[in-house]
Structure 1
Amino acid sequence: MSVTPGHIPHGAEALPDDRFLDREESWLRFNQRVLELAEDARLPLLERVRFLSIFATNLDEFFMVRVAGLTRRMATGLAVQSASGRQPREVLERTATVARELMLRHAACFRDDLCPSLAKEHIELLRWDQLAETEQERMRRFFRDRIYPVLTPLVVDSAHPFPYISGLSLNLAVIVRDPQTDATMFARVKVPPVLPRFLEASPDRFTPLEDVIAAHLGQLFVGMEVVEHHAFRVTRNQDLEIDEDISEGLLQALERELLRRRFGPVVRLEVEDSISEGVLDLLTEELSIDERQIFRLDGPLDLAGMAAIADLDRPELKYPPFVPSKEALPADADLFAAIRERDVLVHHPYDSFTTTVQRLIEDAADDPKVLAIKQTLYRTSGDSPIVDALVGAAAAGKQVVVVVELKARFDERANIAWARKLEKAGCHVVYGFVGLKTHCKLALVVRQEADGVLRRYCHIGTGNYHPKTARLYEDFGLLTADPHVGEDVSALFNHLTGYSRQNDYKRLLVAPQSLRPGLVRRIEREIEHAEAGRSARVRFKCNSVVDEVVIDALYRASRAGVPVDIWVRGICALRPGVPGLSENIRVRSVLGRFLEHSRVFAFENGGDPEVWLGSADLMHRNLDRRVEALVTVTDRGHRTDLLELLDRAMDDGTDAWWLEGDGTWIRRSAMTAEPLLDIQTHLVKSRRWRTVDG
Structure 2
Amino acid sequence: MYDITAVGAELGLPDPEDRFLDRELSWLAFNERVLDLASDPDMPLLERVRFLSIFATNLDEFFMVRVAGLKRRINTGLAVPSVTGRMPLQVMHAIGVRAHELMTRHAALLKDDIGPRLDAESITKVQVDELTEDERARVDEFFAGHVFPVLTPLAVDPAHPFPYISGLSLNLGVLLRYQDSGKELFARVKVPPRLPRFFNVATATDRPVGRDVPARFVALEDIIAEHLDTLFEGMEIIHHSTFRVTRNEDVEVEEDDAENLLKALEKELLRRRFGPAVRLEITENIHPRVREMLKDELGIDENEIYQLPTPLDLSGMSDIADVPRDDLHFRKMVPQMNKDLSLRESSDQVDVFAAVSNRDILLHHPYDSFSTSVQAFLEQAAADKNVLAIKQTLYRTSGDSPIIDALVDAAQAGIQVLAVVEIKARFDEEANITWARKLERAGVHVVYGIVGLKTHAKLSLVVRQEAEGLTRYCHVGTGNYHPKTARGYEDFGLLTKDKNVADDLTKLFNQLSGYAPLAEYSRLLVAPTRVRSGLTELIDKEIAIAEAGGEGMIRIKVNSIVDEAIIDALYMASRAGVKVEVFVRGICALRPGIPGVSENITVRSVLGRFLEHSRTFVFGNGGDPLVYIGSADMMHRNLDRRVETLVELVAPNHKAEIIELFDLAFADTTSAFDLAADGKWTRSTHDDEGNRLTEYQTELIRRHRKRRQIGEEA
The normalised TM-score by structure 1 is 0.96
* 2:325 pairs with one of 314, 317, 324: 314
1:669 aligns with 2:685: yes
Give the AA of the match of 1:329: L
Deviation at 1:338, TM superposition (A): 2.0
Give the AA of the match of 1:280: R
Match in the other structure for 2:675? 659
Which string of whole-angstrom CA distances, capped at 9 and with x for unpartnered residues, describes residues 210-233 of structure 1? 111111212222222111111000
CA distance in structure 2 between the partners assigned to 1:91 and 1:638 by the alignment: 43
> Is contact 1:503–1:514 with CA below 8 Å preserved after alignment?
no
Q: 1:670 to 1:263 in 2, by over 3 A?
A: farther
* 1:435 pairs with one of 452, 458, 471: 452
Match in the other structure for 2:177? 177
1:687 counterpart SS class? helix
> Is contact 2:128–2:223 with CA below 8 Å preserved after alignment?
yes
> Is contact 1:641–1:690 with CA below 8 Å preserved after alignment?
no
Deviation at 1:10, TM superposition (A): 10
1:222 counterpart SS class? coil
> Is contact 2:627–2:655 with CA below 8 Å preserved after alignment?
yes
* 2:233 pairs with one of 216, 219, 222: 222
CA distance in structure 2 between the partners assigned to 1:482 and 1:647 by the alignment: 28
Match in the other structure for 1:16? 15
More divergent stretch after superposition (75-84 vs 665-674):
665-674
1:65 aligns with 2:65: yes
CA distance in structure 1 between the partners assigned to 2:230 and 2:463 by the alignment: 66
1:274 counterpart SS class? coil
CA distance in structure 1 between the partners assigned to 2:706 and 2:23 by the alignment: 35
CA distance in structure 2 between the partners assigned to 1:68 and 1:33 by the alignment: 23
Q: 1:116 to 1:609 in 2, by over 3 A?
A: same
Deviation at 1:671, TM superposition (A): 6.8
Q: 1:237 to 1:357 in 2, by over 3 A?
A: same
Alignment of 1:521-540 (within 5 A): 521-540=537-556
> Is contact 1:444–1:456 with CA below 8 Å preserved after alignment?
yes
> Is contact 2:176–2:237 with CA below 8 Å preserved after alignment?
yes
* 2:414 pairs with one of 384, 389, 397: 397
Q: 1:517 to 1:127 in 2, by over 3 A?
A: same
Give the AA of the match of 2:287: S
1:264 aligns with 2:275: yes
CA distance in structure 2 between the partners assigned to 1:581 and 1:78 by the alignment: 33
What are the ranges of 5 or more consecutive residues in structure 2 without an aligned counterpart? 204-214, 343-347
Which string of whole-angstrom CA distances, capped at 9 and with x for unpartnered residues, describes residues 407-439 of structure 1? 011111221111111111111111112211000
Match in the other structure for 1:165? 165
Match in the other structure for 1:150? 150
CA distance in structure 2 between the partners assigned to 1:363 and 1:456 by the alignment: 14
Q: 1:671 to 1:277 in 2, by over 3 A?
A: farther
Match in the other structure for 2:206? none
Runs of 4+ displaced beyond 6 Å: 689-692
* 2:512 pairs with one of 496, 505, 510: 496
Alignment of 1:32-111 (within 5 A): 32-111=32-111
Deviation at 1:86, TM superposition (A): 1.3
CA distance in structure 2 between the partners assigned to 1:50 and 1:382 by the alignment: 25
> Is contact 2:574–2:600 with CA below 8 Å preserved after alignment?
yes
CA distance in structure 2 between the partners assigned to 1:91 and 1:246 by the alignment: 37
Percent identical: 60
More divergent stretch after superposition (669-678 vs 387-396):
669-678
The normalised TM-score by structure 2 is 0.94
CA distance in structure 2 between the partners assigned to 1:634 and 1:688 by the alignment: 25
CA distance in structure 1 between the partners assigned to 2:253 and 2:332 by the alignment: 43
Q: 1:627 to 1:200 in 2, by over 3 A?
A: same
> Is contact 2:258–2:447 with CA below 8 Å preserved after alignment?
no
* 1:347 pairs with one of 347, 356, 364: 364
More divergent stretch after superposition (376-385 vs 486-495):
376-385
> Is contact 2:386–2:465 with CA below 8 Å preserved after alignment?
yes
> Is contact 1:638–1:690 with CA below 8 Å preserved after alignment?
no
How many residues align? The count is 687
> Is contact 1:656–1:667 with CA below 8 Å preserved after alignment?
yes
CA distance in structure 1 between the partners assigned to 2:65 and 2:257 by the alignment: 23
Deviation at 1:651, TM superposition (A): 1.1
Match in the other structure for 1:200? 200
1:680 aligns with 2:680: no
Alignment of 1:538-577 (within 5 A): 538-577=554-593
1:273 aligns with 2:281: no
Deviation at 1:282, TM superposition (A): 0.9
Give the AA of the match of 1:115: G
CA distance in structure 2 between the partners assigned to 1:578 and 1:9 by the alignment: 14
CA distance in structure 1 between the partners assigned to 2:123 and 2:261 by the alignment: 48
Deviation at 1:269, TM superposition (A): 0.3
* 1:297 pairs with one of 276, 292, 308: 308
Match in the other structure for 1:286? 297
1:630 counterpart SS class? strand
Which string of whole-angstrom CA distances, capped at 9 and with x for unpartnered residues, describes residues 339-371 of structure 1? 122211000000111111111111111122211
1:628 aligns with 2:657: no
CA distance in structure 1 between the partners assigned to 2:404 and 2:328 by the alignment: 35
Deviation at 1:323, TM superposition (A): 1.4
* 1:380 pairs with one of 380, 385, 397: 397
Match in the other structure for 1:463? 479
What are the ranges of 5 or more consecutive residues in structure 1 without an aligned counterpart? none
